[in-house]
Amino acid sequence: MATNLKNLSDYNTNEMPDAQDFKLGIVVAEWNKEITGALCDGACKTLLKHGAKEENINISYVPGTFELTLGAQLMAENAAVDAVIVLGCVIQGETRHFDFICQGITQGITVLNMKYNMPFIFGVLTTNNQQQALDRAGGKHGNKGDEAAFTALKMIDLQRKMKNGIPL
C-alpha cells in the first residue's frame, strides 16, 4: 500500500503480542544517519511499548545500506535473536547506484528470511528525495521504524504459534 494512503505508525495495538521474552536484533545503516537514527528510535520505542526488555534488544551499525544484509546475517548467527529488523535509507541520486543498492538489499533480505527460517524485517526507505525520507522517519507519514518493529513482533508470534501447533 502506498505510504500516502496509510500512516506507517498506525496499527491495532490490541492485536500485538506481548514481547517480554522476545529477543530482537536491529541492524542500522550509518549512511543517512539522521533518517536511520530516527527509524531506530521509532523501532525501539515500539518494541518497548509492547513489553520487549531493553536488554533483549541488540543494536548493531553498518556503514551503509548495502552492508545491511551481511550485518543482519551476522546478527542472526551470533546474537541468538528471534528476528532481525533491518533499517536503512536510500535516496535517489543522479546515477543508477540507487537501483543497484535497492535491488541488492531487497534480494539479500529475502534470501536471509528463507535461509534462516526466521523473520528479517525490511525497514529500508527507498525515496526520491530527503523530504520523502523525513516524512517516513517520524514525519507526516509516520515512522517506518514503528512499522518494522510491529511487523517483527507479529512475525515472531506467528512463527511461535505455528511451531507449537496453536491455531491462528
CA pair distance 81, 137, nearest whole angstrom: 25
**Annotated active-site residue in 4, 33, 70, 97:** 97
CB 52 within 8 Å of CB 85:
no
Candidates 65, 62, 63; CA nearest to 91 is: 65
For residue 19, give Cα distances in angstroms to 24, 80, 119, 165.
9, 15, 15, 19
Q: Is 97 marked active-site?
A: yes
Q: Which of 25, 97, 34, 131 is nearest to 68 (CA)?
A: 25
Nearest to 78 by CA among 30, 22, 122, 116: 116
Hey, which residues are catalytic here?
Answer: 97
